[in-house]
């Protein structure tokens, strides 16, 4: 075992991929300098300016160039510094990258990884803190990945780079410096496979990204009251490992879905709809969703703290679903 | 007075333009007959640009285009029957009927694709040029776009990056004076696209885009430079869209050209007049070339009509590559 951080896991995986495959290149704003958190630190020194390319602040063109490079045989990893700015690249991502394989009748492939990071909690206010993953999951042709741990950050990134499709890889800025023991010998984590992070018999909590850790904390608190929570991290939103979630719900008969994004139209709605379609008879209580209120993220620290979904919200939702229906 | 054109080259250019002209006119008929579906943008009148550019490219050079792309795909080598089958939504279409007129792709012939989003493919060509350079080859990427694409942000983002990174890409603007239904003068104060990019310092030329030899001559120079890694360059071709923005466009925003005026502009008639004057084109040769194109297009129509519609399952099968 080695101690590492989520951020170091990303850097290491990028370097491994670039060593192992000369077609892999990294491009984005300030990537040669390592970027604001250091995710690409050291890559320019090892691989040179041709393969670690600083770009102007022009998200649409950066993304378009990466798509074209991918269609002509490279494996670009493009960084959009904040997911809030993916808005500027959405035409390229949605209209070009996602549909090229389909619209060409299978002739074109776009083996592109778009790395970006989201999440609030650092007083970044409404334009540097969003969780916009649900938009991306709505687009056929894109895969969407959200790692919550260092091990998964490494394993999912390796799998994303190896994938022949465009993959949006969404990091969370508050997880970057979380320390974690990871197994030696890095293995890719297959896209589309959920992880049961904590087993439990009473309630299933499907949580994304930062909310995985909040849900684990809530589970510890609830265990003291005799409520055993099973926490599942889907890790990949598209394709979604519905089987693992449904198998869990068919044992616990209760489901809470938790993410930091605005609840309204969030990915939790999709999980809830898919689970009730697949396992309606297994549910003993309505599915609860935990997410942010339908409002932009406020700047003022006490307001932002109050806005952010976390451990308390997950615990309250679990208690609510446990209180309904037949006793577990 | 320009030097006499080589007769073989003249005939090759004439054939290339007639193939596009006849194909496009036939597509117009088939659209009205509801055999070709959807939004169809024809390039009648603009054939000299496709023919003057694509005829010089190697199969491994790549071409990207916009929504008015049939001519570019054909000039790059896409088989007429498979292009038409695509426009008709058939299984033997270039894209198995999943793309349609605005999304033609023919990887085998280096036509990496059209797009329905104005300006959307300009950066993709640059990415392909980057891939060429990183692989150490001398493959060149070409992107066609209209003057309507130039006022959008991604165009300037792309020109900036292409020049900053010195990418082996040639940007070919077909300036037909109309952005969809609106004259260029209503969208910008900059009349010439080559002036828009002037501050970036790239080689740029504005040519008579209805003179196929002029297009070919300047493009040849740019191509040679791009092969040596000296890109990017911009070639602006002043041309004329004889038909509406799309098939069915009532064109209330402009007056049709008088027939005599069009006779002076028509790139095909111009080359034929030149060929006759220079003695490399016999009096009956134009009609033979035209008829050859008509025969080829009718064969394409038969091929496309015989092709079945694709099975419904293909829609969900091709969302992801595996």
pLDDT digits (tens, 9 = 90+) for A282-293: 999 999 999 999
Q: Does B99 touch chain A (CB under 8 A)?
A: yes
| Number of compact structural domains in chain B | 1
B28 at interface of A, judged by CB pairs closer than 8 A: no
Mean pLDDT for A48-56 is 97
The ranges of chain B with pLDDT < 70 are 1-2
Q: Look at A110-119, A237-246, A269-278, B243-252 and tell me which has the smallest mean pLDDT.
A: B243-252
Confirm or reject contact between A49 and chain B (CB < 8 A): no
Does B32 reside within a domain? yes
Mean pLDDT of chain B: 94
For range A139-167, the mean pLDDT: 98
In a domain, B309, yes or no: no
Cβ–Cβ below 8 Å for B117 and A55: no
Distance of CA B142 to the CA centre of its chain: 10
Question: CATH 3.40.50.970 region(s) of chain A?
Answer: 2-182
Domain membership flag for residue B93: yes
pTM of the model: 0.96
- B99 and A104 within 8 Å at the Cβ level: the answer is yes
Report the pLDDT value the prediction gives residue A275, as an integer from 0 to 100.
98
- A128 in active site: yes
Q: Is A71's CB within 8 Å of B127's CB?
A: yes
Distance CA B240, CA B209 (A): 8
B319's tokens: 């969302």
CB within 8 Å: B98 and A103:
yes
Q: Which residue of B has its CA nearest to A73?
A: B131
Identity of the residue in B97, B98, B161 whose CB atom sits nearest the CB atom of A61: B161
Tens of pLDDT, residues B13-34: 999 999 999 999 999 999 999 9
Q: Where in chain A is the domain with CATH 3.40.50.920?
A: 195-322
Give the containing element (helix H, strand E) for B179: strand B178-179
Q: Which residues of B touch A95 (CB under 8 A)?
A: 115-117, 120
pLDDT of residue A318: 98
Does some domain include residue B320?
Answer: no
pLDDT tens per residue across span A192-243? 999 999 999 999 999 999 999 999 999 999 999 999 999 999 999 999 999 9
Domain holding B289: CATH number? 3.40.50.970
How does residue A187 score in pLDDT terms, banded at 50, 70 and 90?
confident
Q: What mean pLDDT, rounded, does chain A reach? A: 97
Partner A contacted by B160 (CB < 8 A): yes
Of A63, A72, A109, the CB nearest to B131: A72
Interface ipTM > 0.90 = yes
- According to the CATH classification, is domain A2-182 in 3.20.20.70? no
Using the predicted structure, report yes or no on whether residue A251 has a pLDDT greater than 60.
yes
A314 pLDDT tier (thresholds 50, 70, 90): very high
Q: Is the pLDDT of residue A327 over 90?
A: no
Strands, E assignment, chain A: 2-5, 24-28, 52-54, 75-80, 113-118, 143-145, 167-172, 179-182, 195-198, 203-207, 229-233, 236-238, 255-262, 288-292
State whether B123 and A60 contact (CB < 8 Å): yes
Residue B72 lies in a domain: yes
Within-domain flag for B312: no
**Boundaries of domain holding B90:** 7-304
State residue B254's pLDDT score: 79
Say if residue A169's pLDDT is above 90.
Answer: yes
Mean pLDDT of A98-107: 98
Mean pLDDT of A118-145: 97
pLDDT of amino acid B181: 76
The reported pLDDT for the residue numbered B3 is: 85
pLDDT value at A253 more than 80: yes
Task: Assess if CATH 3.40.50.920 describes domain A195-322.
Answer: yes
Residue B163: inside a domain: yes
Cα separation values, A192 from A143, A196, A241, A242, A303, Å: 9, 13, 5, 9, 36
Could you tell me if residue B310 is inside a domain? no
Q: Shortest CB distance from A72 goes to which of B62, B98, B103?
A: B62
């Amino acid at each position: 075992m080695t101690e590492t951080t989520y951020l170091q896991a990303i850097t290491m995986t990028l370097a491994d991929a670039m060593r192992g495959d000369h077609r892999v290149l990294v491009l984005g704003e300030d990537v040669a300098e390592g970027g604001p958190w250091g995710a690409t630190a050291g890559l320019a020194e090892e691989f040179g300016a041709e393969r670690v390319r600083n770009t102007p602040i022009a998200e649409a063109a950066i993304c378009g160039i990466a798509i074209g490079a991918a269609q002509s045989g490279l494996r670009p990893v493009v960084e959009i510094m904040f997911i809030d700015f993916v808005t500027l690249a959405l035409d390229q991502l949605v209209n070009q990258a996602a549909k090229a394989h389909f619209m060409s009748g299978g002739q074109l492939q776009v083996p592109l990884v778009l790395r970006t990071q989201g999440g609030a909690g650092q007083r970044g206010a409404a334009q540097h803190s969003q969780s916009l993953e649900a938009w991306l999951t709505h687009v056929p042709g894109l895969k969407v990945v959200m790692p919550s741990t260092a091990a998964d950050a490494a394993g999912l990134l390796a799998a994303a780079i190896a994938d022949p499709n465009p993959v949006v890889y969404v990091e969370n800025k508050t997880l970057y410096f979380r320390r974690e023991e990871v197994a030696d010998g890095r293995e890719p984590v297959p896209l589309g496979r959920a992880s049961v992070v904590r087993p439990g018999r009473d309630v299933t909590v499907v949580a994304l990204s930062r909310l995985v850790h909040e849900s684990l904390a809530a589970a510890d608190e609830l265990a003291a009251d005799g409520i055993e929570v099973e926490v599942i991290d889907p890790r990949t939103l598209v394709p979604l490992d519905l089987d693992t979630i449904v198998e869990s719900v068919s044992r616990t008969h209760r489901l809470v879905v938790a993410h930091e994004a605005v609840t309204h139209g969030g990915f939790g709605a999709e999980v809830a709809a898919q689970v009730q379609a697949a396992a309606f008879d297994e549910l003993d209580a309505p599915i609860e969703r935990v997410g942010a209120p339908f409002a932009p993220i406020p700047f003022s620290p006490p307001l932002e703290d109050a806005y952010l979904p976390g451990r308390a919200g997950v615990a309250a939702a679990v208690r609510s679903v446990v209180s309904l229906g037949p006793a577990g | 007075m320009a030097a006499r054109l080589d007769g073989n080259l003249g005939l090759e250019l004439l054939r290339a333009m007639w193939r596009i002209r006849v194909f496009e006119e036939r597509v117009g008929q088939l659209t009205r007959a509801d055999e070709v579906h959807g939004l169809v943008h024809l390039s009648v009148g603009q054939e000299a640009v496709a023919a003057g550019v694509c005829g010089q490219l190697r199969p491994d050079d790549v071409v990207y285009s916009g929504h008015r792309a049939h001519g570019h795909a054909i000039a790059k080598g896409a088989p007429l029957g498979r292009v038409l089958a695509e426009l008709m939504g058939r299984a033997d279409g270039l894209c198995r009927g999943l793309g349609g007129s605005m999304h033609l792709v023919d990887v085998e012939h280096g036509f990496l694709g059209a797009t329905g989003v104005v300006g959307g493919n300009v950066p993709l060509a640059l990415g392909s040029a980057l891939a060429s350079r990183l692989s150490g080859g001398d493959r060149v990427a070409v992107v066609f776009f209209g003057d309507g694409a130039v006022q959008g942000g991604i165009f300037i983002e792309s020109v900036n990056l292409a020049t900053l990174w010195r990418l082996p890409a040639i940007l070919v603007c077909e300036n037909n004076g109309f952005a969809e239904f609106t004259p260029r003068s209503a969208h910008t104060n900059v009349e010439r696209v080559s002036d828009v990019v002037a501050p970036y310092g790239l080689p740029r030329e504005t040519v008579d885009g209805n003179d196929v030899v002029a297009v070919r001559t300047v493009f040849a120079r740019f191509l040679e430079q791009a092969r040596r890694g000296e890109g990017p360059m911009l070639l602006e071709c002043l041309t004329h869209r004889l038909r509406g923005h799309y098939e069915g466009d009532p064109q209330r925003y402009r007056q049709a050209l008088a027939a005599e005026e069009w006779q002076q502009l028509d790139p095909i008639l111009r080359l034929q007049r030149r060929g006759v004057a220079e003695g490399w084109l016999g009096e009956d040769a134009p009609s033979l070339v035209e008829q050859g194109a008509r025969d080829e297009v009718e064969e394409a129509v038969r091929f496309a009509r015989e092709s079945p519609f694709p099975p419904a399952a293909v829609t969900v099968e091709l969302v992801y590559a595996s």
